[in-house]
Structure 1
């Protein structure tokens, strides 16, 4: 199921008489890549677990409080308002957990039409709790301003975005703001997602090896996050571009084609 091949035509003078084909099974390499992707997901999940637990505890406080009010003093005039607040907080917890589980599920790439604005908002919502713990806010700027679908594996692209935002948070020790900006390049028929931080920038010596596996500046880092992110984006026929200035922050831009649904490589 997983292989590469090439075919060369054979001519006898000017007459076509056959072809030479070579097939190579790359199942082992594919399986290893999937295992590495799964391991990186687990690494991200470990980092986010504390933030998620903290965020889930927040709505539990008003839920418990309003339930106690209803139990001790059932006020019909106020009950509708209380139940709405409880319901809203429960929905917020459900969304957080659903998004968290979506990242943790290891599965083969499955491309489909995905609303890019919804995907970005879901990812930012998921990462905001982690940012809040570090006194960092995450803002979204949509320069396209109309709903747009792209043909991608939603979970894998979300993993890339989480990784980039996670890196941005870790670069900003003093707090501040991360901007996620969505643009459309009409000439190239692609979207551009930029994650812009206010960190200290990336050392030029490290910049050239940024996507090399196991190269990391973090004490507990695996050095696989950006490497896997780049592989995922390339498998979607896009690219990742890094622009960093010392003490002025870093902008990492992911470009993805708007649609290559009819490309046979996705069949």
Structure 2
């Protein structure tokens, strides 16, 4: 960044220029005042010189007109006129010497210091001073000669006649000096005034230029930037502000345009992802749009297998082209991908070649290295998706992803993963819908021949069969009944859930179920106890569906709990979340963690004759009511099933 191009430097330079200009004007004003003062002092001195010469002439003329008639009058005139003549000649001599030596004592100027004017710069003034000096020297010598050498008996009459007749050259020279000093002062002041106005006009022109520059360079681009901010704030995320100049505002505008472009790309990306129903199509759009935000040579989507032992590499795009025939399975446990899924945070590997060499077990990382990729970011898709997965971004150049790119991905991670997770949910729901439709069709197809088989087995059982034939017929009939029940559960699991909701007191429903003991097989040999406050826990529910949930959970608790133990049913409510909580706890052995994670998976069961659909159906019914279900198990407290259902 060139500091000369920064607004900070340019504005500082402009202000410095203005300060210099106006300092010059101020200094010139001070100088002109000082010049004026100097010439005023010189004019005052010439005025005093002129006034002293006139006083001297006046004394001479006055004495000539009033010459003394006796000795007593003469003595009086010596004290009066002679002393006056001496005073004036001394003053004229002092002032003349001051002009000659360009040094005036404080007694002449009323200043604290000696006044030293510079008169050698002007020849006319210098000549006028010399003329005064010469005229005064000649006048003074002739005056002294006329007065005589005896100061006690000066010849005042002769001196008066001399002064009256010979003063003209002196007074003319003094007048000429005054005129020259006046002319020089006026000329210098005119020069200073001209320079003053020139500087002032120059300062005004430069000031106007600086304000014009400031308007063009700062105010107008800033106005355009503000208008751009307003447009983006109103939703025009693709708006671009014209970039002019090369300073902080242009850099700010460029950053704003980059931000606007990124926002536009991001929102188009999210809109596309939210509308998409196909992972491949969505990933293709990401591969096309994301290079505007960060370096990207390769992008891929991986999803965790059902048993979490592996991660499946389903779709990828290399240099914008879809890679065909690259579906593979990679080990998940103990890898960077598992760490990303567990932490829920993006993970950056700036040099995969080095990391892969140190960790040969990182199969997916080695797979990317073989493709020539070096820098990668792994973005987990966990809570937002029915199927946990990872979005992987990679480029060929090591250390390509800067902290800015990581910060950008971190900031948009939740949006991207949430939107992508929604796409995955759409795909998963599509798959489930297809499975449900297939299950409904196959169930109906199987039930017809199964009914025929069941009727045949009933006929055989009612016939007179003996020995092993009767046992085989009974066994076949039991298996047919089990298959029919399985088909009913499959159909219930696969069909869309429809509810007939109405206000329902959950405590009353549980009390009735546990007290009437309508299903002894469900409660077994354990003692069931309901713990709840004496109040109404009202929810919006389908009573038949909810009874099915309670019956299924009661059977499971009875199967798991030891005989004679207690099965507790605890009911409470949470006013803050406006939910009703039901906890069913039974003793017995803890459920292993690997089984606990799969209890709601269809067809997964730990019972010898279970269908593996009971808990799946329970979860489907609970979620259809807007609730949640979870199962916790440990060796201390046993197994606890927790249901949370919104209040009515």
Using structure 1 for the length normalisation, give the TM-score.
0.56
Alpha carbons of 1:31 and 1:186: their partners in 2 closer, same or farther (altered >3 Å)? farther
Alpha carbons of 1:172 and 1:34: their partners in 2 closer, same or farther (altered >3 Å)? farther
Alpha carbons of 1:126 and 1:233: their partners in 2 closer, same or farther (altered >3 Å)? same
Give deviations 1:124-148, integer Å, cap 9, x for gaps. Answer: 234663366x4211111113x2123
Give deviations 1:101-126, integer Å, cap 9, x for gaps. Answer: xxxxx994211111111111122234
Q: Is 1:130 paired with 2:530?
A: no
Give deviations 1:203-226, integer Å, cap 9, x for gaps. Answer: 111011111000100000001011
Name the structure 1 match of 2:586: 197
Question: Following the alignment from structure 2 to structure 1, what is the Cα–Cα distance between the partners of residues 507 and 532?
Answer: 8
Q: Determine if contact 2:526/2:562 at 8 Å carries over to the other structure.
A: no
Q: Which runs of 5+ in 2 are unaligned?
A: 1-235, 240-274, 277-425, 442-491
Q: Which runs of 5+ in 1 are unaligned?
A: 1-10, 15-20, 36-105, 260-267
Q: Is 1:221 paired with 2:610?
A: yes
Q: Is 1:147 paired with 2:554?
A: no
Question: Following the alignment from structure 1 to structure 2, what is the Cα–Cα distance between the partners of residues 149 and 34?
Answer: 34
Q: Is 1:172 paired with 2:561?
A: yes
- How do 1:1-267 and structure 2 match up within 5 A? 108-124=498-514, 125-126=516-517, 129-130=520-521, 134-143=524-533, 145-246=534-635, 248-259=637-648
The higher relative CO (CA closer than 8 Å, separation ≥ 6) is in 1
Query: How much is the aligned-residue C-alpha RMSD, in angstroms?
Result: 3.4
Residue 30 of structure 1 and its aligned partner are, at CA, apart by: 6.6
Matched residue SS, 1:178: strand
Question: Following the alignment from structure 1 to structure 2, what is the Cα–Cα distance between the partners of residues 115 and 34?
Answer: 33
Segment of structure 1 superposing worse, 134-143 or 160-169: 134-143
Question: Following the alignment from structure 1 to structure 2, what is the Cα–Cα distance between the partners of residues 33 and 121?
Answer: 36
Question: Following the alignment from structure 1 to structure 2, what is the Cα–Cα distance between the partners of residues 176 and 32?
Answer: 43
Q: Determine if contact 2:580/2:646 at 8 Å carries over to the other structure.
A: yes
Using structure 2 for the length normalisation, give the TM-score.
0.24
Residue 34 of structure 1 and its aligned partner are, at CA, apart by: 8.4
Q: Determine if contact 2:579/2:647 at 8 Å carries over to the other structure.
A: yes
Question: Following the alignment from structure 1 to structure 2, what is the Cα–Cα distance between the partners of residues 152 and 109?
Answer: 8
Q: Determine if contact 1:131/1:137 at 8 Å carries over to the other structure.
A: no
Alpha carbons of 1:120 and 1:190: their partners in 2 closer, same or farther (altered >3 Å)? same
Give deviations 1:75-104, integer Å, cap 9, x for gaps. Answer: xxxxxxxxxxxxxxxxxxxxxxxxxxxxxx
Count of aligned pairs: 175
Higher helix content, 1 or 2: 2
